């Protein structure tokens, strides 16, 4: 079995735990465009990449570029919260170096254009994760599984936390089946959800992909 995969916040690098043998078409989006040498062209289907942010509110928005690019976000990092976490020793990485105007689009608008059914959604949007999920609109019912990064602490000002994300997905018919985080990092977790309406084969496939996570 192969899935068509959406990865929001991908930066164009390998999508652990997803392997080439698991993926057909792939849709990626990140406002910081990818290095061409790290693209996912090896996957068997087509790759569609959008160098933009995905949000439930389309249009131009300010994007906070942090000194460590990986933590850049539509939301402002809260340094007062971060200083008391495992990231406190490297707080300078979270400081905003500049704020630039970027384009935001809804995920459902992009999916309407592509006219391809995608099976799995992976979201790592640095605080904007719930915004991405909401932007999928009615297409969310086609998604069989979701991996989403959930903040346990308010490290981004005004960004939704894990409980709100979990409640939204449970209301949409998804079941939380697994959660994990990096060592000693009780700041965020990745949560794996499976659609209640997914077939038995699809559920087994998702669990196989994430078996060793």
Domains along the chain with CATH numbers: 3-60+106-209 (3.40.50.150)
Q: Give 48-78 pLDDT, tens digit per residue.
A: 888 899 999 999 999 999 999 889 999 999 9
Q: Given this model, what pLDDT does residue 33 score? A: 61
Given a cut of 50, whether residue 171 has pLDDT beyond it is yes
Q: Given this model, what pLDDT does residue 102 score? A: 93
Q: Are 50 and 107 a contacting pair, CB within 8 Å?
A: no
Given a cut of 70, whether residue 133 has pLDDT beyond it is yes
Q: Given this model, what pLDDT does residue 48 score? A: 87
Q: Given this model, what pLDDT does residue 159 score? A: 97
Using alpha carbons only, what angle is made at residue 195 by residues 40 and 159, rounded to the nearest 5 degrees? Answer: 70
Given a cut of 90, whether residue 35 has pLDDT beyond it is no
Q: Given this model, what pLDDT does residue 34 score? A: 46
Percent of the chain with pLDDT over 70: 92
Is pTM beyond 0.85? Reply is: yes
**Confidence category of residue 213, pLDDT binned at 50, 70, 90:** confident
3-state secondary structure the chain: CCEEEEEECCCCCCCCCCCHHHEEEEEEECCCCCCHHHCCCCCCCCEEEECCEECCCCEEEEEEEECCHHHCECCCECHHHHCCCCCHHHHHHHCEEEEEEEEEECHHHHHHHHCCCCCEEEECCCCCHHHHHHHCHHHHHHCCEEEEEEECCCCECCCCCHHHHHHHHHHCCEEEEEEECCCCCCCEEEEEEEECCCCHHHHHHHHHHCCCC
Q: Given this model, what pLDDT does residue 31 score? A: 86
Q: What is the mean pLDDT of the chain?
A: 91
Beta bridge partners of 60: 103
Given a cut of 60, whether residue 43 has pLDDT beyond it is no
Q: Given this model, what pLDDT does residue 47 score? A: 83
Given a cut of 60, whether residue 194 has pLDDT beyond it is yes
DSSP state of 52: S
């Amino acid at each position: 079995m192969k899935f068509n995969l959406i990865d929001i916040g991908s930066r164009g690098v390998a999508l652990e735990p997803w392997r080439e043998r698991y993926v057909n078409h792939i849709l990626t989006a990140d406002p910081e465009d990818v290095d061409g040498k790290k693209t996912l062209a090896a996957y068997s289907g087509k790759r569609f990449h959008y160098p933009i942010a995905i949000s439930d509110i389309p249009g131009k928005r300010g994007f906070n570029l942090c000194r460590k690019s990986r933590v850049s976000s539509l939301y402002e990092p809260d340094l007062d919260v971060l200083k008391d976490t495992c990231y406190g020793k490297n707080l300078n990485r979270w400081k905003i170096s500049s704020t630039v105007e970027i384009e935001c689009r809804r995920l459902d608008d992009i999916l309407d254009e592509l006219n391809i059914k995608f099976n799995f959604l992976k979201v790592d949007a640095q605080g904007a994760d719930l915004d991405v999920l909401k932007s999928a609109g009615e297409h969310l019912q086609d998604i069989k599984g979701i991996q989403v990064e959930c903040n346990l602490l308010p490290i981004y000002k005004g960004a939704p936390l894990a409980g709100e994300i979990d409640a939204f997905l449970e209301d949409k018919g998804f079941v939380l089946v697994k959660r994990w985080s990096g060592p000693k990092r009780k700041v965020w977790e990745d949560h794996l959800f499976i659609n209640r309406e997914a077939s038995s084969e699809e559920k087994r496939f998702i669990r196989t992909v994430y078996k060793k996570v």
